[in-house]
Amino acid sequence: MGQQKSREYFCRPSSPPSVEPTAIVSDQLRPSSETPGITVLPAQAPSEESDLQDRSFDSIDSTTGEHQVAAPLLLSAPGSSTATAEGRRSIASRRSSNGSQESIGTRDPSALAQTLPKLNTSGCRPPIFLPPSPMSAGTHTGDTIPSVGNLLVSPNIPEWLRRVVDKGIDISTFLHEEYKEIENLEVSRIREGGKGPGHPYSYSVAQQSQNMRRNRYYDIIPYDKSRVVLSSPSPSDKSDYINASHFQGLPGTRPYIVSQGPMESICGDFWQMIWEQKTSLIVMLTNEEERGRVKCHRYVPRTPGQRVQYDNLGGISVTLIEEETMPNGEVVLRRVSLEHGRETRNLWQLHFTAWPDHRASSPQSVLSVLDLSRQLQTLAEKETDAGPMVVHCSAGCGRTGTFCTIDGVLQLLENQSNVHGQDDLVRQTVDKLREQRVSAVQTVEQYAFCYEAVLYRLLEWQHGVGDTRPAWIQLAPTAGPGSDRQ
């Protein structure tokens, strides 16, 4: 590869406020050409509609409607393999017939459907006492954190969170400085991990030529130590690699498997992972297409009764049993049947459609989806030997990492783990997750959103909302014992 000129990245502010939720422009700090030990290899320049953070391979031509390939950026470090022309061609051609073979059929959904438990979906509607979404109302990153935090009475806000709220007008500067530290630590890990296999942060397996085509984005790849290993090699190229990671925050929190959004050529591998890990719940946080780009291939059959079969493990079939859209229209709940040999398993897919890439979502909506995912996972664990839930967006780091961070911090608060300690649980959780997956919580806006969502949940508890309120929370005078909304 010839010498190429490196491209530097600069911070850009959030979009100005409007009545609709504002589009969040990337504020991610990426290594520049001057970062020691890191080479930034620029590829095709982003189009005017995209931004530096949108690194999807798939795009759709607005005139022809055809799929196109947009090459992203690759981070490489000393000792790591860099993308060759052959490697880039193999990635671009990943949609060839080398993918898992599949066949499509139809089955009677009524014969498959079992008695499905009625779920409490009332929480999908935001509580009426809460103010507007801070991400759509603010003009600077996290600038509503102080105002939301100051609605809490003193005993209901942990000391570490009080220190963040008390930053006041300096909250945006504080969050940017904290996030820059997080990014700098990751740059060091990438540099060290590039020294080769055996290093704690090595990512050599993901960069093997046969596996590069399996990555939706060049720079979002799993570390060797935390990657999910397929127990039986993929039938297409005999690889045990899938772009997914085992993921867990601080002690006392639930484990997850986080994944990139499946590509067409690896849908069979994705379902193989679901089978092998005994997953009973998939949380999908992306739409299949956003802003004219393919973010995730449709891996669930489209109509009830439709069955898709893959060659993995000698044959896996996936059938959609039923699909339900929640009352607020933001959540689609699908019941799926997964068959291998003589065994059949039923699982849920919880698809949240209101969290577009690089745009604002509302804390109330995200918290409602989180609550529903907990309910489904708990139900599955009671009925079966369920493994970890699988959470994915498009890259499996930004929205996914944010979702898992919020869930982990709330679990610690619910269990009264270090509630009134000095350690910032949000910062510690993000640091921990970043050790297991590159770019977990991908932008400073998402980092701020973690604090905002935690504050909103504390505010709900203070007003007697929800059935997870811990004993240390004091109810507001207007919230009586009968005000719990189950």
* Of 27 and 115, more confident: 115
Question: By three-state DSSP, how is residue 258 classified?
Answer: strand
pLDDT at residue 357, as a whole number = 67
Q: Contact at 8 Å (CB) between 299 and 290?
A: no
CA distances from 136 to 133, 350, 360 (A): 5, 24, 6
Q: Is the per-residue pLDDT at 124 higher than 60? A: no
Give the closest residue to 405 by CA, choosing from 247, 199, 200, 169. Answer: 247
**For the segment 234-281, what is each residue's pLDDT rounded down to a tens digit?**
887 789 999 999 999 999 999 999 999 999 999 999 999 999 999 999
In whole angstroms, what is the distance from residue 246 CA to residue 130 CA? 35
Q: Are strands 67-69 and 58-60 parallel, antiparallel or unpaired?
A: antiparallel
Residue 369 falls within a domain, yes or no? Answer: yes
pLDDT at residue 360, as a whole number = 55
Instruction: Write the CATH number for 355.
Output: 3.90.190.10
Marked catalytic residue, from 124, 267, 296, 393: 393
**For the segment 270-319, what is each residue's pLDDT rounded down to a tens digit?**
999 999 999 999 999 999 999 889 999 999 999 999 999 999 999 999 99
Domain count, the chain: 1
Neighbours of 55 (CB within 10 A): 22
Residue 87 falls within a domain, yes or no? Answer: no
Q: Looking at 58-62, 162-166, 198-202, 327-331, which range is the least confident one?
A: 58-62
Q: Is the per-residue pLDDT at 53 higher than 90? A: no
**For the segment 8-21, what is each residue's pLDDT rounded down to a tens digit?**
322 323 332 222 22
Residue 317 falls within a domain, yes or no? Answer: yes
Residue 46 falls within a domain, yes or no? Answer: no
Q: Looking at 28-42, 221-235, 361-375, which range is the least confident one?
A: 28-42
* Of 314 and 481, more confident: 314
Residue 194 falls within a domain, yes or no? Answer: yes
Residues in the chain, overall count: 486
**Which residue blocks in 84-223 are alpha helix, DSSP H?**
85-92, 109-112, 134-137, 145-149, 159-165, 171-193, 209-212
Residue 197 falls within a domain, yes or no? Answer: yes
pLDDT at residue 77, as a whole number = 33
Residues 6+ apart with CB under 8 A from 304: 109, 320, 321, 322, 323
Over residues 153-159, the mean pLDDT reads 93
pLDDT at residue 467, as a whole number = 84
Task: Tell me the residue range of the domain where 409 lies.
Answer: 122-471
Residue 129 falls within a domain, yes or no? Answer: yes
11 is catalytic: no
Over residues 335-339, the mean pLDDT reads 97
SS (H, E, C) 351-380: EECCCCCCECCCHHHHHHHHHHHHHHHHHH
- What is the DSSP track for 47-82? PTTS-TT---SEEE-TTT--EEE----EEE-TTS--
**Cα dihedral value 16, 17, 21, 26, nearest 10:** 30
Q: Give 71: exposed, middle or buried? Use CB within 10 Å, 0-12, 13-18, 19+.
A: middle
* Of 89 and 132, more confident: 132
pLDDT at residue 348, as a whole number = 97
Residue 455 falls within a domain, yes or no? Answer: yes
**How would you label 332-351 residue by residue, b for 16+ Cβ within 10 Å and e otherwise?**
bbbbbbbbbeeeebbbbbbb
Q: Give 60: exposed, middle or buried? Use CB within 10 Å, 0-12, 13-18, 19+.
A: middle
Q: Is the per-residue pLDDT at 340 higher than 60? A: yes
Radius of gyration, CA atoms only, the chain: 22
